[in-house]
Amino acid sequence: MKQYASFQKYLENEYQGPFMATDIIIEYEQNGLEGIILIERKFPPYGVALPGGIAEKMTFAENAAKEAMEETGLTVIINEPYKPLCVLSNPSQDPRAFIASVAYVGRGYGKINPSKEEDAKRAFFVPLINLPEILEKNIWAFGHHKKILELYLDSKGVCYER
């Protein structure tokens, strides 16, 4: 609309971020164990990460479910679409650009099977009891994904050394 033309021009030309990513903690059951799904990234920064990706033209919760499907093959029902687990927005958390993360928790259904065209080289199940140990390892593509998982463990009441 014409009345917003100068504001839109500002956004198009001067907005320097934050660009937005959605990340998701997919709760999943395997062989009677409760756990979550992580991925191994196909593109830099390499390493282990939460399923997620840059926001497209839909709500963040829809974006999180779409990325989850693409990177893990699972259908995910997001717990609270309006109330994410956390929002992390330190301007230097992502080495690529000023990218903030809205992180959701959801329940995954189906068989783990990432799409070949997506960011994930593989997706794998981690039992919740093993997560504190895995958080200590030097395998993470993004430091803020560790922070998201720490906040998740706190929300579940899981005690662990940090």
Which residues contact its own copies (rule: CB under 8 A)?
Answer: 1, 3-4, 7-8, 11, 15-20, 44, 54-55, 57-61, 82-91, 95-98, 100, 102, 151
User: Least distance (Å) from its own copies to the CB of residue 126?
Assistant: 22
Please, which residue, 97 or 158, has the CB nearer to its own copies?
Answer: 97
Give the Å distances, CA to CA, from 125 to 4, 50, 59.
Answer: 47, 11, 26
d(C-alpha 122, C-alpha 10), whole Å: 40
Owner of token pair 């960011």: 119
Please, which residue, 20 or 112, has the CB nearer to its own copies?
Answer: 20
d(C-alpha 120, C-alpha 97), whole Å: 20
d(C-alpha 49, C-alpha 120), whole Å: 9
Please, which residue, 91 or 110, has the CB nearer to its own copies?
Answer: 91
Please, which residue, 17 or 110, has the CB nearer to its own copies?
Answer: 17
User: Least distance (Å) from its own copies to the CB of residue 110?
Assistant: 25
